[in-house]
């Protein structure tokens, strides 16, 4: 329709005009923009109001965001038959605790004393103030909620790291390539990590950038390398669970969707005496690059 030809003292609201309005709204143009276009084409205000007011079709509503559906394929140990021990390839690992919601499993003897000391020794000279992933920007930043020092090993960086990563992959039935590099953290007296979620919030603007490296985080494994003298438990406030940081023990938890309904809010309680060292492995939905 040629709007310029519509200009006259008698301006009926024709079916052709209604179709034009419908097409423009469907194309994403606002009512305000259409008013300006009609005014510039010579339409009178009463005709504009009639075409774009109560009689005009409403713009299409944006589709509601699809609900986040739980995943069917998830990392985790095979616990059919309630085993007391699991075969992790080069080591038998104890099953100390299981919980269904949130999905939590505590493993005993996951690492030997020598392996714990080896990770600490390799990490000690590379420690720096821990950063957190910033879902608002897609980068990393210092966060007052996290007061540890830490570092990351690259995946497969050393024979020790390779051996531990292979053990984790077998225990949790998830490919080595789908894991982030092993992170080692030191918590001095007073240090803590306030309750938080490990998944990346889909509503935050920086999440799309983060997900390019391997998709969502699906699970976390925290392994205690050194016990503090007091404090330092891993806490799950939604269910009142506290896991004591005993050397060689690991606490695994998974989250099948990025939603608080997973009840995976967790934190590192303040260390009250001594130092706590942990190694953390985050598992992604596809290969982490």
Provide the pLDDT for residue 19: 73
pLDDT exceeds cutoff 70 at 256: yes
Q: Considering the chain, what percentage of its residues have pLDDT values greater than 70?
A: 79
pLDDT band at 255 (very low <50, low <70, confident <90, very high): very high
Provide the pLDDT for residue 168: 98
Is 66 inside a domain boundary? no
Is 58 inside a domain boundary? no
Which region among 137-141, 176-180, 225-229 has the lowest average model confidence (pLDDT)?
137-141
What mean pLDDT value characterizes the chain? 86
Here the tokens at position 246 are 């005993």
User: Looking at the structure, do residues 22 and 109 belong to the same domain, yes or no?
Assistant: no
Strand order in 266-268's β-sheet? 193-196, 266-268, 234-236, 241-243
Is 80 inside a domain boundary? no
pLDDT exceeds cutoff 90 at 284: yes
User: Looking at the structure, do residues 146 and 189 belong to the same domain, yes or no?
Assistant: yes
Provide the pLDDT for residue 5: 45
Q: Return the residue matching tokens 């099953």.
A: 95
Provide the pLDDT for residue 242: 98
Is 230 inside a domain boundary? yes
User: Looking at the structure, do residues 38 and 96 belong to the same domain, yes or no?
Assistant: no
Residue 38 φ/ψ, nearest 5 degrees: -70, -40
β-bridge mates for residue 187, sequence order = 276
pLDDT exceeds cutoff 90 at 70: no
Here the tokens at position 71 are 């995943």
Q: What is the crossing angle of helices 31-40 and 15-26, to 10°?
A: 130
CA distances from 104 to 80, 109, 136, 241, 251 (A): 15, 17, 28, 10, 7
pLDDT band at 124 (very low <50, low <70, confident <90, very high): very high
Provide the pLDDT for residue 44: 77
Which region among 6-10, 46-50, 97-101 has the lowest average model confidence (pLDDT)?
6-10
Q: Between β-strands 149-152 and 271-273, what pairing exists: parallel, antiparallel or unpaired?
A: unpaired
- Pairwise CA distance, residues 257 & 217, whole Å: 9
Provide the pLDDT for residue 20: 74
Provide the pLDDT for residue 45: 76
Structural domain total, the chain: 2
User: Looking at the structure, do residues 20 and 100 belong to the same domain, yes or no?
Assistant: no
- Pairwise CA distance, residues 264 & 253, whole Å: 7
pLDDT band at 131 (very low <50, low <70, confident <90, very high): low
Is 116 inside a domain boundary? yes
User: Looking at the structure, do residues 46 and 107 belong to the same domain, yes or no?
Assistant: no
β-bridge mates for residue 95, sequence order = 107
User: Looking at the structure, do residues 16 and 154 belong to the same domain, yes or no?
Assistant: no
User: Looking at the structure, do residues 201 and 274 belong to the same domain, yes or no?
Assistant: yes
pLDDT exceeds cutoff 70 at 62: no
| Between residues 134 and 173, the one the model is more confident about | 173
User: Looking at the structure, do residues 120 and 31 belong to the same domain, yes or no?
Assistant: no
pLDDT exceeds cutoff 90 at 171: yes
pLDDT exceeds cutoff 60 at 63: no
- Pairwise CA distance, residues 11 & 43, whole Å: 7
User: Looking at the structure, do residues 133 and 217 belong to the same domain, yes or no?
Assistant: yes
What would the mean pLDDT of 214-219 be, rounded to a whole number? 97
Is 68 inside a domain boundary? no
CA distances from 73 to 55, 76, 167, 250, 255 (A): 51, 9, 20, 22, 11
pLDDT band at 3 (very low <50, low <70, confident <90, very high): low
pLDDT band at 39 (very low <50, low <70, confident <90, very high): confident
Is 197 inside a domain boundary? yes
Q: How would you write 222-257 as a 3-class SS string?
A: EEEEECCCEECCEEECCCCEEECCCCCCEEEEECCC
User: Looking at the structure, do residues 7 and 125 belong to the same domain, yes or no?
Assistant: no
User: Looking at the structure, do residues 224 and 137 belong to the same domain, yes or no?
Assistant: yes
What would the mean pLDDT of 10-36 be, rounded to a whole number? 69
Q: How would you write 151-214 as a 3-class SS string?
A: EECCCCCCHHHHHHHHHHHHHHCCCHHHECCCEEEEECCCCCEEEECCCCCCCCCCHHHHHCCC
Is 75 inside a domain boundary? no
User: Looking at the structure, do residues 136 and 29 belong to the same domain, yes or no?
Assistant: no
Cβ neighbours for 274, distance < 8 A, ≥ 6 positions apart: 189, 227, 228, 229, 230
pLDDT band at 238 (very low <50, low <70, confident <90, very high): very high
pLDDT band at 54 (very low <50, low <70, confident <90, very high): very low
Provide the pLDDT for residue 106: 98
Which range marks the domain in which residue 238 is found? 85-284
The enclosing domain of 275 has a CATH number of 2.60.120.620
């Amino acid at each position: 329709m040629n709007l310029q030809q519509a200009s006259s003292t008698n301006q009926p609201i024709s079916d052709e005009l209604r179709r034009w309005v419908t097409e423009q709204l469907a194309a994403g143009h606002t009512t305000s923009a259409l008013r300006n276009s009609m005014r510039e084409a010579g339409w009178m205000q009463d005709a504009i109001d009639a075409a774009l007011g109560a009689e005009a079709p409403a713009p299409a509503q944006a589709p509601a965001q699809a609900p986040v559906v739980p995943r069917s394929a998830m990392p985790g140990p095979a616990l059919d038959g309630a085993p007391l021990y699991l075969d992790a390839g080069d080591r038998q690992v104890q099953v100390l605790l299981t919980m269904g919601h949130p999905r939590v499993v505590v493993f005993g003897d996951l690492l030997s004393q020598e392996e714990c000391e080896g990770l600490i020794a390799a990490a000690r000279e590379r420690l720096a103030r821990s950063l957190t992933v910033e879902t608002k920007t897609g980068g990393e930043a210092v966060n007052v909620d996290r007061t540890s020092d830490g570092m990351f090993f690259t995946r497969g960086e050393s024979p020790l790291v390779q051996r531990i990563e292979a053990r984790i992959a077998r225990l949790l039935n998830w490919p080595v390539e789908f894991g982030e590099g092993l992170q080692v953290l030191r918590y001095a007296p007073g240090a803590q990590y306030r309750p938080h979620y490990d998944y990346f919030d889909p509503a935050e603007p920086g999440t799309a950038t983060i997900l390019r490296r391997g998709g969502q985080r699906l699970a976390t494994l925290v392994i205690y390398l050194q016990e503090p003298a007091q404090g330092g438990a891993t806490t799950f406030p939604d269910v009142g669970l506290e896991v004591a940081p005993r050397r060689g023990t690991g606490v695994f938890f998974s989250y099948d969707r990025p939603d608080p309904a997973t009840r995976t809010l967790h934190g590192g309680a303040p260390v009250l005496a001594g130092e706590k060292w942990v190694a953390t492995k985050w598992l992604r939905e596809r290969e982490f690059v």
